[in-house]
A = this chain, B = another copy of it.
Amino acid sequence: MKAEIIPENSAGIVTTNYYTFAEPPDELLLVSGKKLGPITLAYETYGTLNSDKSNAILILHALSGSAHAAGYHAKKDMYPGWWDNYVGPGKTFDTSHYFIICSNVIGGCSGSTGPSSINPETGKEYGLDFPIVTIQDMVNAQYHLIKFFGIQKLLSVVGGSMGGMQALQWSISYPDMVQSVVAIATAASLSAQGIAFNEVGRQAIMLDPNWNYGDYYNNENPKNGLSLARMIGHITYLSEKLMHEKFGRRLQHSDIFKFHMDLEFEVESYLHHKGNDFVQRFDANSYLYITKAIDYFDLKNDFNGDLANAFVNVNSNYLVISFSSDWLYPTSQSREIVRALRMNSKNVIFTEIQSDKGHDTFLLPHEQLEHNIANFLKREFEKVHRK
């Protein structure tokens, strides 16, 4: 979709903004005990913050996302932001009513401080000297951004996958700042299988000789390793059924086997295409740091082994959504969150959406998902303005 004519319901031409804080000696104290600063967060906003700052929604992205959730950076842009289907005038996150903030994460590579940023102590890129960051650290950094806007309470904090982890963490870390949470295709902790897939992705990067223990910024990037990591990840984002329907066993260029070692099946070339696309826009070290943050996230472990404890002090209303064919963040993990919330008599709506499209369903247009979120947001907005 080349945006020569930008659609009417688009957020339009947007720009990424950058907020820098935690300048020494006021660095951010990380969960690890290390300090990080200065910190820059990349973010975008769509819509207008109302006078009492009560219409702000914070959108948080998944592993490979960025602050660019909606609209186009230029008229010649080939693609809009990653959640453009959902964010714009008249869309689920209706920018004629709400003020949408999409924040990038620390550890990332899309304008925020991460391993590819310059380490002020050395004057060169951090590489593996970048400290390990957690989901909690990402949220603590975003807190500074929200404070900068002067927003006392977010109408909603919303995210899918790792974005959902951040949204849950927001409601736990800053219970008085979060009116509601939309947690999509996420978990209170990643499964053993999920950790396993993240680890083979990391190993793929480290196997690339260009990785060079993370010190590659003045040389060739480990693009083959990063591409392979992305290919592995991509398999887990789709359902077996979707892959079957989309590619089956079709060959790329022919009806007959070529009896060589090159790519032949459509599913192979699709994955290679996804891998090659990814390396144009993502940093291999950020892939290591962000997958590690996902692996570490464990609300149960953070609260003495009982997930119910995590939600004792929250003040938010929750919409929890899973997808029937998501095997990376299966419905059972969403149910675990819902159970823990209900044990604390918190207000939670849970929906398992029937979908064949796997984990990545939330990135695709989906009427029921759009409808559920839009209605939830509307009710939360009404609650706030009834008060």
A204 and B201 alpha carbons, distance in the complex (Å): 10
In-complex Cβ contact of A196 among B225, B259, B271 (8 A): B271
**In the complex, what residues of B have CB within 8 A of residue A246's CB?**
192
Number of copies: 2
Q: By the criterion CB–CB under 8 Å, are B295 and A265 in contact?
A: yes
Q: By the criterion CB–CB under 8 Å, are A192 and B260 in contact?
A: no
Q: By the criterion CB–CB under 8 Å, are B132 and A249 in contact?
A: no
Is A288's beta carbon under 8 Å from chain B? yes
**In the complex, what residues of B have CB within 8 A of residue A257's CB?**
32, 132, 296
**In the complex, what residues of B have CB within 8 A of residue A263's CB?**
199
Is A370's beta carbon under 8 Å from chain B? no
- How far in angstroms is the closest Cβ of chain B from A378? 36
Q: By the criterion CB–CB under 8 Å, are B200 and A240 in contact?
A: no
Interface residues of A in 316-358 (CB under 8 A from B): 327, 330
**In the complex, what residues of B have CB within 8 A of residue A265's CB?**
192, 195, 199, 295
**In the complex, what residues of B have CB within 8 A of residue A240's CB?**
191-193, 327, 330
In-complex Cβ contact of A247 among B192, B202, B261 (8 A): B192
Q: By the criterion CB–CB under 8 Å, are B288 and A195 in contact?
A: no
**In the complex, what residues of B have CB within 8 A of residue A190's CB?**
249
What is the chain B residue whose CB lies nearest that of A214? B261
**In the complex, what residues of B have CB within 8 A of residue A231's CB?**
196, 199-200, 203
- Known A189-B249, A288-B261; judge A243-B196 contact (CB<8 A): yes
Q: By the criterion CB–CB under 8 Å, are B301 and A235 in contact?
A: no
- Known A240-B191, A243-B193, A271-B196; judge A131-B259 contact (CB<8 A): yes
A292 and B200 alpha carbons, distance in the complex (Å): 21
Is A197's beta carbon under 8 Å from chain B? yes
Interface residues of A in 19-67 (CB under 8 A from B): 31-34
**In the complex, what residues of B have CB within 8 A of residue A200's CB?**
228, 231-232, 235, 271
Is A176's beta carbon under 8 Å from chain B? no
A275 and B327 alpha carbons, distance in the complex (Å): 24
In-complex Cβ contact of A261 among B209, B249, B267, B292 (8 A): B292
- Known A247-B192, A327-B240; judge A225-B207 contact (CB<8 A): yes
Q: By the criterion CB–CB under 8 Å, are A235 and B204 in contact?
A: no
**In the complex, what residues of B have CB within 8 A of residue A330's CB?**
240
Interface residues of A in 224-250 (CB under 8 A from B): 224-225, 228, 231-232, 235, 238, 240, 243-244, 246-249
What is the chain B residue whose CB lies nearest that of A245? B192
What is the chain B residue whose CB lies nearest that of A131? B259
Is A208's beta carbon under 8 Å from chain B? yes
A192 and B131 alpha carbons, distance in the complex (Å): 39
Q: By the criterion CB–CB under 8 Å, are B228 and A195 in contact?
A: no
A199 and B266 alpha carbons, distance in the complex (Å): 11
**27 A-B pairs in the complex with CB atoms less than 8 angstroms apart:** A32-B257, A32-B259, A132-B260, A132-B261, A189-B249, A190-B249, A191-B244, A192-B248, A192-B267, A193-B235, A193-B240, A193-B243, A195-B265, A195-B267, A195-B268, A196-B231, A199-B268, A200-B231, A200-B235, A207-B208, A207-B224, A207-B228, A232-B232, A240-B330, A249-B298, A257-B296, A261-B292
Name the 5 nearest CB pairs between A and B, nearest first: A32-B259, A192-B243, A132-B259, A193-B240, A192-B267
